Amino acid sequence: MTLQKSNKKNNEILIFDTNIFLMGVDFNLLEGIIYTTDNIIEEVKVERYLNKNRNIINRIQAAIDSGKLKVRTPLKTYVSKIDKSSKITGDYNALSNPDKELIDLALELKFTRNKNILVYTNDYSMQNVCSEMQIPFSPLIRKGIKSKILWEVYCPHCEDIHNVEELNKPCEKCGLKLKRRPKK
């Protein structure tokens, strides 16, 4: 049982985009080995002047030291395929060189390792191109922030804000049924 579980652990390769590192994920909570490129790490370091990111840089270094995080420069084998796919999806101009390199690394690992790969990125262009190239991907959303919606009740005609208990009741000024929308 334990052995099976550890085998499964070793069979995951996670590929991290810059925006995932900047979320300050605790790497040890994730199963598998994390891969990224030099240029992605450089992009994270560019942001290090932000106080909150010093911790992230330290965490990255600790993960590299422990072998949990591996930094590789890909061989650029798939660059022309990536260009072609991103032109099909219309994301060609939205992808930076580090973005393309990360996809190159993902493809390299997909075809050279007998493991499941998963690209973590919150970037829509990256997600599109991964989808087009049949590379498994996932966004990483902080639970409790994006999933929580605060509603406000308003009159579609008068634009007045009402108490939430008044939802679906008629507006006292114009008689229209009150609606709700996510609070900004």
Interaction site with Zn ion (CB under 5 A): 155, 157-158, 171, 173-174
DSSP states along 129-160? HHHHTT--EE----TTTSS---EEEE-TTT--
Q: Whose Cβ is closer to Zn ion: residue 68's or residue 179's?
A: 179
- Tokens 């991103």 correspond to 86
Count of all residues that appear for the chain in the document: 184
Q: Whose Cβ is closer to Zn ion: residue 142's or residue 177's?
A: 177
Residue sitting closest to Zn ion (CB): 171
Q: Whose Cβ is closer to Zn ion: residue 88's or residue 174's?
A: 174
Q: Whose Cβ is closer to Zn ion: residue 78's or residue 154's?
A: 154
CA distance 138 to 23: 14
Tokens of 92: 């060609």
Tokens of 58: 């330290």
Quick check: 20 and 127 in contact, CB under 8 A?
no
In whole angstroms, the minimum distance from the beta carbon of 150 to Zn ion comes to: 22
Tokens of 70: 């591996």
Q: Whose Cβ is closer to Zn ion: residue 58's or residue 163's?
A: 163
In whole angstroms, the minimum distance from the beta carbon of 152 to Zn ion comes to: 14
In whole angstroms, the minimum distance from the beta carbon of 119 to Zn ion comes to: 48
Residue ranges of alpha helices (H) inside 92-164 are 97-112, 124-132
In whole angstroms, the minimum distance from the beta carbon of 167 to Zn ion comes to: 14
In whole angstroms, the minimum distance from the beta carbon of 179 to Zn ion comes to: 11
